[in-house]
Chain A
Amino acid sequence: MLNINNLHVQLEEEDKQILKGVNLTVEPGKVHAIMGPNGSGKSTLSYVLSGKGGYEVTEGSATLDGQDLLEQEAEERAAAGLFLAFQYPVEIPGVGNMTFLRTAVNAQRKARGEDELSAAEFLKEVRAQAKSLKIDAEMLKRPVNVGFSGGEKKRNEILQMAMLQPKMCILDETDSGLDVDAMKLVAEGVNALRSENRGFLVITHYQRLLDHIKPDVVHIMANGRIVKTGGPELALEVENNGYADILAEVG
């Protein structure tokens, strides 16, 4: 479903190469995890895939169901079914969470040539999804992410994901800043969305999130490349021995 081929990326403003030939394929129904030390390019990969400005692709390709992602605007990628759960969700003062969600849902429906959801349909859906993430009515009314705790912000990202029903979900360090209970809630939310036609790319530093969201494939990223790929046992190896051994092994 998601095909990344020899992707090279540098910063637009300085001549600094960050991704140096990433190859990755995520099949529908699978959960892939990317682990790696700080500065290995994990977050850059998620930003480039979702269309953030400031990066220049110098070589390679990325496609979603055969569509060239890199040619599309961020909103076109979203409408095509790509979703990024942000590591640092952005605050938008004055814009109610519900308004934001509804605008997003309807924008995507419109882009796909579907009818907008009526207020009643939307409300029913959002209430059901919010309930399972333990998001109360008050949090839905508050401005987007403003004054939210770390856990609330991440749960809110998963709520957006649940409402937008993407094909391909990228979770960028969704576990950062979460206590154990919050992490369980978030993981439950993600697991509820697992299905045979949806792919996941879970970016994380630590094994602990992967205890709750069981990956099919684990990749280790270092210095702008995927240096090792394996099964869930690879995550445990990192947990026990750190990255040093693996990095030494691959040179």
Chain B
Amino acid sequence: MVALDQTQVKDGVDQETVDAVREVGGEYKYGWETEIEMEYAPKGVSPDIVRLISEKNEEPEWMTEWRLQAYERWLQKEEPTWAMVNYPKIDFQDIYYYARPKSMEVKPKSLEEVDPKLLATYEKLGIPLREQMILAGVEGAEKAPAEGRKVAVDAVFDSVSIGTTFKEELKAAGVIFCSISEAIRDHPELVKKYLGTVVPVTDNYYATLNSAVFSDGSFVYVPPGVRCPMELSTYFRINAENTGQFERTLIIADKGSYVSYLEGCTAPARDTAQLHAAVVEIIVEEDAEVKYSTVQNWYPGDEDGKGGIYNFVTKRADCRGDRSKVMWTQVETGSAVTWKYPSCILRGEESQGEFYSIAIANNMQQADTGTKMVHLGKNTKSRIVSKGISAGKAQNTYRGLVSMHKKAKDARNYTQCDSLLIGDKCGAHTVPYIEVKNNSARVEHEATTSKVDEDQLFYCRSRGMDEEEAVALVVNGFCKDVLQALPMEFAMEAQQLVAISLEGSVG
């Protein structure tokens, strides 16, 4: 915490807040490592590595070709530099692109066959891979059905999916929920039809690399008219050192269907930075609705900025059908560097896109995140609510695009970007891009920046809360609009996470 000790602060309360924030170091709860025998592909990326990953996943020839073409395109692309983030140049030949626990060499047929060490890892993370109810916590528990709610989990460990729960029950409802490698083998017609149609192979540097080397991820297909009977989720864990995680998620909500999906992510605390470059594609057909929530808690690096995950992620939803709807909710508390813009293409008439985001950057973390709302269809609507919180020496940027195309008659957007600063060594930046090509469209943008108010903190403390509780309460109040957008169980988890990432109190 050398950096923070030198912090000059203006007044008493800010000093105390800085002290509270100082205690965060070492408070990352998921920084432990699972000791397990791994099998790696040789370091670096080449056509041979691409073929090897494809082979490990027992993929058909068309998939291998798709990957190889992506690799060729990646060689021609340049790393983007426009984001407000600084990090040492990544040596893409010094990364393992494939790491699999040895015990996964023969694919387990059911969860009972999965290596107990892996199951224990998820147990420790609080994601038990059993088909059980998730019981709601105390607050708001009255809203939950008495018997709890079911959440199906796909668990991805380094480069492979180790298992998916509630598969049979979902299958009975017609929902396909499995790892993407399984989907490529078992549902090639769906994968062929949709993969790369939302995020094209050549979309951007990281997405192109991902297209070549992605190892696993989740696949969801909800058939027409089906309301998915439970929440679906994927839990990503990076465990191996010097390994990049390249996951690929494909979600298809067919006509009139509904699904709510959540992803969570953690990684061990290591001195060297690690790359995570994911691609998520969502297809929303007529009258369908998808909710996609993320609680991102990758290792953020230490207080001096050593280590941490570089989170370079491309997420996009295509609202193809009329009246289709997608809602992105993200709580970004981890990662050393975040570069992420979950976006909506509003193609169908009256389609709707929503983006709710909480991004917390503490210590030396850098976050450049936001969304793109591309309005193509008539009467399309979008709403953006972004809450950025900066503490320590962190830099937090909201970067967003709202684009109203010629045919997007009477399209509407509302954007609200609020930034909260804790201490005076951090920064908050808002970079909205707005393109309007038709004069019936309406775009509204509101932005505020504020500091945690010392009167608010004193008021809370005079009622008996300590400084950590007071900061957590005020910040959670600041984030409320977004926390409310999360599924209830995760809202509580996120609320605690917000407190932990700012205060160092062990939740």
Contact = CB atoms under 8 A, between A and B. Distances in A.
Interface of A: 12, 50-54, 73-75, 77-79, 83-84, 86, 89-95, 99-100, 103-105, 107-108, 111, 119, 143, 160, 164
Contacts of B458: 51-53, 74, 90
A78 B474 contact: no
Contact of B469 (A103, A105, A164): A103
B462 A78 contact: yes
Interface string B247-262: 0000000000000000
B149 to A, nearest CB: 19
B462 A12 contact: no
Contact of A94 (B11, B465, B476): B476
A73 B466 contact: yes
B188 interface: no
Interface centre among B13, B467, B473, B481 (most CB of A within 10 A): B473
B65 interface: no
Given A92-B473, A95-B477, A107 B12 contact: no
B463 A164 contact: yes
A107 B138 contact: no
20 contacts: A51-B458, A51-B462, A52-B462, A54-B12, A73-B461, A75-B463, A75-B467, A78-B462, A84-B462, A89-B459, A90-B458, A92-B456, A94-B480, A94-B481, A99-B139, A104-B464, A105-B464, A107-B463, A119-B139, A143-B477
Contacts of A89: 459
A111 B12 contact: no
Nearest to A100: B473
Contact of B464 (A92, A95, A107): A107
A94 B477 CA distance: 4
A216 to B, nearest CB: 25
A95 B476 contact: yes
A94 B478 contact: yes
Interface string B475-493: 0111111000000000000
Contacts, number: 92
Contacts of B453: 90
Given A103-B469, A108-B464, 10 more contacts: A51-B458, A53-B458, A77-B462, A78-B463, A84-B462, A90-B455, A91-B456, A95-B473, A103-B465, A164-B463
Contacts of A51: 458, 461-462
A54 B458 CA distance: 11
Contact of A75 (B13, B465, B480): B465
Interface centre among B138, B463, B478 (most CB of A within 10 A): B463
B477 A75 contact: no
Nearest to B454: A53
B44 to A, nearest CB: 48
A74 B456 CA distance: 13
A158 B448 CA distance: 33
A107 B481 contact: no
A107 B466 CA distance: 8
A94 B481 CA distance: 8
A84 B462 CA distance: 7
A35 B271 CA distance: 62
A79 B464 contact: yes
A105 B11 CA distance: 28
B461 A75 contact: yes
Interface in B77-132: none
Contacts of A52: 458, 462
Interface in B28-60: none
Contacts of A104: 460, 463-465
Contacts of B459: 86, 89-90, 92
A80 to B, nearest CB: 10
Contact of A160 (B463, B477, B481): B463
B466 A95 contact: no
A190 B237 CA distance: 56
Nearest to A101: B463
Contacts of B12: 12, 53-54
B478 to A, nearest CB: 6
A32 B481 CA distance: 44
A105 to B, nearest CB: 8
A75 B463 CA distance: 7
A139 B139 CA distance: 19
Interface centre among A53, A89, A105 (most CB of B within 10 A): A53
A92 B477 contact: yes
A125 B193 CA distance: 59
Interface string B433-474: 000000000000000000001111011111111110100011
A73 B465 CA distance: 10
Contacts of B456: 90-92
Nearest to A84: B462
A78 to B, nearest CB: 4
A164 to B, nearest CB: 7
Nearest to A50: B462
B469 A107 contact: yes
A107 B480 contact: no
B11 A54 contact: yes
Nearest to B459: A90
B477 A78 contact: no
Q: Which 7 residue pairs spanning A and B have beta carbons closest together? A: A94-B477, A94-B480, A95-B477, A108-B464, A104-B463, A53-B12, A90-B459
Contacts of B466: 73, 75, 107
A119 B139 CA distance: 8
B465 A53 contact: no
Contact of A95 (B13, B462, B474): B474
A84 B455 CA distance: 14
Contacts of B462: 50-52, 74-75, 77-78, 83-84, 86
Contacts of A95: 473-474, 476-477, 480
Nearest to B469: A107
Nearest to B477: A94
A78 B11 CA distance: 23
Interface string B124-157: 0000000000000011010000000000000000
A94 B464 contact: no
Nearest to B478: A94
Contacts of B479: 94
Contacts of A108: 463-464
Given A90-B459, A92-B459, A103-B469, A78 B138 contact: no
Nearest to A52: B458
A93 B477 contact: yes
